[in-house]
Amino acid sequence: MKLKEIAEKIGAKLLGDGEIEIKGVGSLKHARSDQLSFVSGKLYLEEAKQTNAGALIVSDETWLAGKPGLLVPDAYRAFISVEKILLGEPEQSWGIDDRAVIGEKVKLGEPVCIGPYAVIETGAEIGDRVRIDAHCYIGKNVRIGAGTRLYPGVKIMERCVLGQRCIIHSGVVIGSDGFGFIPGKDGHEKIPQIGIVEIGDDVEIGANCAIDRASLDATIIGSGTKFDNLIHIAHSVKVGKNCIILAGTVVGGSVEIGEGCMVSGNVVIKDHTRLAPGTQVIGGSGVYEDTKPGEAVMGYPAMPFSQAKRAYLRLRDLPELFKRVKKLEEKLK
C-alpha cells in the first residue's frame, strides 16, 4: 500500500514522498526500508535518525529525520491503526470439530468454532461468532456472549457468564471455588461456594489467571477491564469498568475496585478493601486500607505516593543515621 493511501485511511497529514510502497510495520531498531515505524517521543529521536524504516509516523514533523512520514496527534495510536490495516483480518474458519463433546440442550450461535477435545456441558449458551479452541471446558448453564474468543485450555465452570467480544487466554480458570473454610479443632469445614462469576463486555483476561466464584452472589469483572497474566481474583470481588491490572497481582476476597483503576504488577490487596475510582497502585505495593478517588498509592503497606516517595528516599539515609545515633549514645554514657 502506498504511503499516501495509508495517510488517507487514518486521516494523517502526508509529509514527503507519498508514492513509496509500505508492506508492513516494524520497530525503529529492526524495521526494513519497505516498513513503517513510529516515534512516540523525544526519547526515541536518536533511534529515528538511525532507523532503516521507509517512513515514520510522528506527532512532531521535526522528528522525521529526513524521512517521509505521517503527521498525527498520537503516533502510537496511529501506528496501531496502520498495523491493523496492513495485517487485515485473520482468516477465520468455522465449524465444530468431530472430537469436541457437546452436551444436551446446548444452544450454539451461528457461526461458531469449536476446537478438538473441547467439552461443552448441558444447558450452555454460546453466542454468534464465538471461538472455543482445543481442550476448553465449558460447564453446565454457562453463557458466553457473541464474538468472544477462548484460547486453548480455558476452563469456564458452571453457571458463569461472559459478555460479548471478550478474549480469554490459555490456562484461565473462571468460576473455581472461592477459598472459604471454618477452622475447628477437628479440621477445617468447607464453606459451599454457590455464587458465580459475571464478566462484562470487551474484557481481556491474560494467561493463567484464576477468578473465583462468589460464596453467595457474584464475582464481577466490569466491561472494558483488562487483566495481564497470572492474576488471582478471590471470591466476591467487584472490579469496575475499564480497569487495568498487571501480572502477579493478588486480590483478596470481597475487595471492591472502582472504575478506571490501574493496578501495577505484584500488588497485594487485602480482603474487604475498597479502591476508589481512578486509584493508581504502584507495583509491589500492599494495599490494606481504602483509597480516595484518583489517589496514587505506593509501598508496603501502601500510602499516598508523595508520602511514600519521601519515606523511601529516607531509607538510604538510615545506615548513616544509625552511626550518628550510636555516636551520640556513646557520648551520653
Q: For 25-38, how does the pLDDT look when each residue is reduced to its tens digit (9 = 90+)?
A: 999 999 999 999 99
Range with the poorest average pLDDT among 154-158, 304-308, 313-317? 313-317
Strand order from edge to edge, sheet including 256-257: 107-108, 125-126, 143-144, 161-162, 196-199, 218-221, 238-239, 256-257, 274-275
Alpha-carbon gap, residue 278 to 197, rounded angstroms: 23
Contact partners, residue 1, CB within 8 Å, separation at least 6: 21, 22, 23, 85, 86
Strand order, beta sheet including 244-245: 95-96, 112-114, 130-132, 149-150, 167-168, 204-205, 226-227, 244-245, 262-263, 280-281, 296-299, 302-304
In terms of DSSP H, where are the helices of the chain? 3-10, 45-50, 75-87, 305-315, 318-332
* pLDDT class of 9 with cuts at 50, 70, 90: very high
Is 0.75 surpassed by the pTM of this model? Answer: yes
Local confidence band at 310 (pLDDT 50, 70, 90 cut-offs):
confident
Domain spans in the chain, listed from the N-terminal domain onward = 3-87, 160-309
133-155 pLDDT, tens digit per residue, is 999 999 999 999 999 999 999 99
Q: What local confidence, expressed as pLDDT, does residue 297 receive?
A: 97
Q: Which contacts (CB < 8 Å, 24+ apart) does range 46-53 have?
A: 53/26, 53/28
* Confidence at residue 327, expressed as pLDDT on a 0 to 100 scale: 87
Identify the CATH class of 160-309.
mainly beta
Quick check: 308 pLDDT over 90?
no
The 10s digit of each residue's pLDDT in 149-172 is 999 999 999 999 999 999 999 999
Asked whether residue 295 carries a pLDDT value surpassing 90, the answer given is yes
Amino acid letter, residue 85? I
Percentage of residues in the chain with pLDDT exceeding 90? 88
Contact 256, 276 (CB under 8 A): no
CATH 3.40.1390.10 fits 3-87, yes or no: yes
- Determine the pLDDT at residue 304: 93
311 has pLDDT over 90:
no
Instruction: Give the angle subtended at the CA of 62 by the CAs of 58 and 67, to the nearest 5°.
Output: 70
pLDDT at 67: 94
Contacts of 258 (CB under 8 A, 6+ apart): 240, 274, 275, 276, 277, 278, 279, 293
Identity of residue 333? K
Q: Which residues contact 99 (CB under 8 A, 6 or more apart)?
A: 116, 117
201-211 mean pLDDT: 98
For residue 265, what pLDDT is reported?
Answer: 97
For the chain, the average pLDDT equals: 95
Within 10 angstroms of residue 171's Cβ, the number of other Cβ atoms is: 18
H or E element that contains 226: strand 226-227
pLDDT at 212 over 90: yes
Q: How confident is the model at residue 298 (pLDDT cuts 50, 70, 90)?
A: very high
Long-range interactions of 216-225: CB distance < 8 A, separation 24+: 219/178, 219/195, 221/197, 222/259, 223/163, 224/200, 225/200
d(CA 136, CA 5): 42
Cell of 17: 514522498
Active site residue 235: yes
Q: Is the pLDDT of residue 333 over 80?
A: no
**Cα 242 from Cα 37, distance rounded (Å):** 28
User: pLDDT tens-digit profile of 47-94?
Assistant: 999 999 999 999 999 999 899 999 999 999 999 999 999 988 777 789
Residue-wise DSSP of 78-102: HHHHHHHHHH-PPP---EE-TT-EE
- pLDDT recorded at residue 313: 83
Query: In 3-state terms, what secondary structure has residue 317?
Result: coil
- Type of residue found at 270: K
Q: Which is the catalytic residue, given 30, 169, 235, 272?
A: 235
Look at residue 330 in the predicted model and tell me its pLDDT.
86
Handedness of CA 290, 293, 298, 304 (dihedral sign): negative
